[in-house]
Amino acid sequence: AARAAAARAPARPTVEQVRLATRLSELFYVRDWQGIVALEQEALALARGLRGTDPGYAGTIYSWLGNGFLNVGEYSRAREMHEQSKAILEEMGDRLGMAQACGNLGNCCDAMGDYVTGIEMHENSKAIYEELGDRVGLAKSCGGLGLCYGNMGDFVQARKMHEQVRAMGEEMGDRALVTLACGNLGTCCQNMGDYAMAREMHEQARGMAEALGDCAGAARAWGNLGNCYQRTGDYALACEMHEQHRTISEALGHRAAVAGACGALGECMSSTGEYMKAISYFETQYTIIEELGNIKDLPTVALNMGVAI
């Protein structure tokens, strides 16, 4: 009987598995996305092994991998990982985990240009967070919806969502949330032609991100400021902002962000007639997004390069 019970008991994780799980957790909490992606094969093997004995932790590993791939610009791989996580959490009946998984999938769909599905996922996430009374989660869902609406061109609805996020962040004293909302509001204002307000929002976001030690947030703010100055024809200042964005993103290993900064620099150079520099930036951008598999952006970059040539 004792032998039969031992046979039915879940296998204890090996020392190597415990070390790997600990390492993945550490990388996630310091936002070392490249480090997580580099451990893909080992992490997948661990997740598959844990699915029958500790499905909740297996779902967490898939989620870590999904966030890693999303932040390095490999959106299709990110979506695969979050789909796996969502399936496990559905089987478990984990409502909070489901809300998080839906939000992560919404971010992936948004990045891939599938805005309708992105909105659906964020709405699902929002409904669960409201049911659970989770204000932080609710704010994140509203922010995700705002991004999707903005990418669809519905800036009025996008601004409404981001205003809600900022209000919730201020109410909770969550400065990171307020920082993110200010940046998103700045982008909405920019797309609506209110450049003065856009710059004000992006400057606030940059200052708060730097105070929080959020290098990625500061990089985004620099890039957003560059976009504002670019829209108003101040290309010299725009280039300074985009160079800051590129430099910080390179140091962080955020290749998708580097590609975006190079594209913006290429556009500035084209606008000022420095076509050889523009071509070089566009070539770098094209190479990075091709390597990342972000196919939807390749035609636009190729067109920009062709115009410069």
**Tell me: the pLDDT tens digits for 31-41?**
888 899 999 99
Q: Residue 73 CA to chain centroid, in angstroms?
A: 8
Work out the pLDDT band at 71, boundaries 50, 70, 90.
Answer: confident
CA angle (294, 298, 299) in 5-degree steps: 140
Segment 118-131, tens digit of pLDDT: 999 999 999 999 99
Segment 90-118, tens digit of pLDDT: 999 999 999 999 999 999 999 999 999 99
Residue 109 in tokens? 């769909």
What are phi and psi for residue 194, nearest 5 degrees?
Answer: -95, 80
Q: Is 120 exposed, middle or buried (0-12, 13-18, 19+ CB in 10 A)?
A: middle
Task: Say which DSSP state 166 is in.
Answer: H
With pLDDT > 70 as the criterion, what percentage of the chain qualifies?
96
Q: What is the 3-state secondary structure (H, E, C) of 39-88?
A: CHHHHHHHHHHHCCCCHHHHHHHHHHHHHHHHHCCCHHHHHHHHHHHHHH
Q: What is the 3-state secondary structure (H, E, C) of 7-23?
A: HHCCCCCCHHHHHHHHH
Average pLDDT over residues 60-81: 92
Residue type, 84: Q
d(C-alpha 185, C-alpha 187), whole Å: 5
pLDDT at 205 over 80: yes
Q: Residue 46 CA to chain centroid, in angstroms?
A: 25
Least confident of 4-18, 84-98, 203-217: 4-18
Task: Taking each helix axis as running N to C, give the angle between helix 298-308 and helix 255-271, from 0 to 180 degrees, rounded to the nearest 10.
Answer: 30
Segment 216-262, tens digit of pLDDT: 999 999 999 999 999 999 999 999 999 999 999 999 988 889 999 99
Segment 147-195, tens digit of pLDDT: 999 999 999 999 999 999 999 999 999 999 999 999 999 999 999 999 9
Picking from 114, 108, 143, 107, the residue whose alpha carbon sits closest to that of residue 126 is 143
- In this prediction the pTM is 0.77
Check residue 11 and give its pLDDT: 59
Average pLDDT over residues 65-89: 92
Check residue 10 and give its pLDDT: 52
pLDDT at 8 over 60: no
Work out the pLDDT band at 295, boundaries 50, 70, 90.
Answer: confident
Average pLDDT over residues 46-68: 92
CA distances from 246 to 35, 113, 134, 221 (A): 20, 23, 35, 12
